[in-house]
Amino acid sequence: MNIKTRLLIILFLAISTIGISQDYKKEIKSQFLDYNNLIINKDFDKSMEFMPEEFFEIVPKDQMVLIMEKTFSNPEMEFELKSPKITEISDTEKIGDKYYSLMSYSSLMKMKFIDINLEEETETEHKLRMNMIKLSFEEAFGSNNVKYDEKAEAFEINAQKQAYAISKNGKTDWKFLVIEKKQKFILDKLLPKQLADKI
């Protein structure tokens, strides 16, 4: 076998590997967007199909659905979620009997607080309350990612997030686990130690 033939085989294998790599990444992206669209459309029951089963041993499925319903139908808040933009999907890593891929994405949220039973609030108190809310959002998401429309009294938050895509075969049926540092005690139970330690 001459050098030219060897190079052609190596090139073919490299292209094939890249093609396979892109296939599972496309699948992760497609399924993650499906998952988020179900949440945006308030189909919370169906969205649970995209979460790891082990999660429901910690937080029961019906309780999780109830939490999401309360968040989206809170009479004191208008809440709108936009479809996320995926910025990066890492190569999969097989740990134990599962495949893991770390995703980075940005998620745009719009929030407006409805003043209920605040007739006695002065204009100064109202401004102070809005400033306190803005500061707490800036602390959580970074000051560059929070905009406040004073006229509409609405917040726009561009949350930079990460999630693990998890699959048993590394190709299909991806489940998603959003990384929240405040919930590390839950993530420690659901992720392999070498991944949980990085959070």
Whole-structure pTM value:
0.80
Residue recorded with tokens 């989206």: 72
Q: What's the mean pLDDT when you consider all of the chain?
A: 85
- Residue 115 pLDDT exceeds 80: no
Position 116 scores a pLDDT of 59
How many domains does the chain divide into? Answer: 1
Contact 134, 155 (CB under 8 A): yes
For residue 24, give its domain range. Answer: 3-196
Residues 89 and 162: their CA atoms lie apart, in Å, by 10
pLDDT digits (tens, 9 = 90+) for 174-195: 999 999 888 888 889 899 999 9
How would you classify the pairing of strands 85-89 and 98-113?
antiparallel
Position 19 scores a pLDDT of 45
Segment 27-33 mean pLDDT? 95
Q: Of 194, 168, 165, nearest to 97 (Cα)?
A: 168
